[in-house]
Structure 1
């Protein structure tokens, strides 16, 4: 089985996270999947940024939801990381879908609708994924499991992944209640016997965020279907060495 090498927010160890520079670099470093985060602007555009608030990764302040796309696209989203990335802009979901449209890369879109619900986000994301013909290469994930259930009702053909921390009892049974396809668990919550039993119930694991090579190797041996990492080059090397 080919294990998906998901670059967490792109190649976020070497580029400013959730920028086109990070996404492009991750592909150069051997990523076979990309994980990104979606928030929504005041005028309904799907912006790729992790935080609800702007100040950590851009030159802006305040919440994404309170700014128009016209305002957001003026911000610098790269100089906080390193001077050479000055001028890097926030991307839209369309930008990443266009980059991946003619590739076989898997895209994990995390809906960041736990703090703000962003009414209409699910419909907008699904419409874009369908418009770009990527329904078979997308996984929708969220910590908002109501949203995941809603996504599945709108688009049963698109895979969904349940994001959670730890302590979820028999998560494969819980996944069945949402008709979810994958468990996006914090990696310390993933044991080999869990991976085996989940697979017997038709559910796969994509643990996050795994940056230690020893832990990567343990999860590869456990049989996970994908690993979310800030270091896709490190994971690519391990997978190549093991022939998986």
Structure 2
């Protein structure tokens, strides 16, 4: 039985999310796939960021990109309104929790001075590790309800695909999105496409279809209809019924975000194909206990990424 471990935003529970040090640590732990988020800057560059505005939790201003920059400070500004040079001034290596309930600040090792990487830099890092067997799960950040924050989905998808192709990583990558317009564009461009779903986005503006009316509430059938090759639901949506519908639609299920090994074990028993987790180290321990196939860790590089 093959069940995959997917590192979420690298390994968000262990290192700063969507960063080169985070990706490096995840590769060295050993995962089947590494997931990260990509958005487009004002000058057409692809950067790793989960949020379409600069997050005050994961980012801190340092200095303006140029003296007297009217856009400074950059935290809270839309990613698409800022250039790569402006975004590269941010320190994204230290978490700034909004409350004491933030669990990641207790387990995530801070790496001050870390900068927001480009997609090209991440692909270069993966190449330097020789991690050809690790699939790159690239989530394209797009919100159809906020066109003021989102890039055109066709342009965003085509730019990501072109960058993957330039690094010879297209065959070892998957395109993921909650905005199913992205998946429709990717259908003829990338072989592996994940339909992300959660309760908040089970709406026509996100899916581009009426899954309740046209598919009787069968989200797996809806995902298959737009060419998804994997269904990737929020953990709270996964039950026997969803798994049965996914099997009928011939879609494997990769569930997110599961950090508790006991819950992960229950998901494995339900028949999921992959666990997306902030803690790949915990999942590796579970995989070992259950006798599941473990992904090989990448050998450490001599020089740590910045």
TM-score, normalisation: structure 2: 0.74
Unaligned runs of 5+ in 2: 62-74, 97-107, 203-210, 212-216, 293-306
* 1:123 aligns with one of 155, 158, 176: 158
Cα RMSD for the two superposed structures: 1.9
CA distance in 2, matches of 1:89, 1:2: 35
2:129 matched to 1:111? no
- The residue number in structure 1 matching 2:289 is 241
Go from structure 1 to structure 2 and tell me whether the alpha carbon gap of 1:56 and 1:24 turns closer, same or farther (over 3 Å shift).
same
- The residue number in structure 2 matching 1:48 is 48
Secondary structure in 1 aligned to 2:282?
helix
Go from structure 1 to structure 2 and tell me whether the alpha carbon gap of 1:196 and 1:30 turns closer, same or farther (over 3 Å shift).
farther
Runs of 4+ in 1 over 3 A off after TM superposition: 80-84
CA distance in 2, matches of 1:33, 1:40: 23
Shift in Å, 1:30: 2.8
2:7 matched to 1:7? yes
- The residue number in structure 2 matching 1:225 is 273
- The residue number in structure 2 matching 1:91 is 117
Bigger Rg over Cα: 2
Q: Does structure 2 retain, via aligned residues, the 8 Å contact 1:36–1:108?
A: yes
Comparing 165-174 and 87-96, the one that deviates more: 165-174
- The residue number in structure 1 matching 2:83 is 68
Secondary structure in 2 aligned to 1:204?
coil
Report how many residues are paired: 242
Secondary structure in 2 aligned to 1:85?
coil
Deviation string, structure 1 residues 88-130 (Cα, Å, up to 9, x no partner)? 1101111222222331111111111113331211110011112
Q: Does structure 1 retain, via aligned residues, the 8 Å contact 2:194–2:232?
A: yes
Unaligned runs of 5+ in 1: none
Comparing 126-135 and 176-185, the one that deviates more: 126-135
- The residue number in structure 2 matching 1:149 is 184
Shift in Å, 1:175: 1.6
TM-score, normalisation: structure 1: 0.92
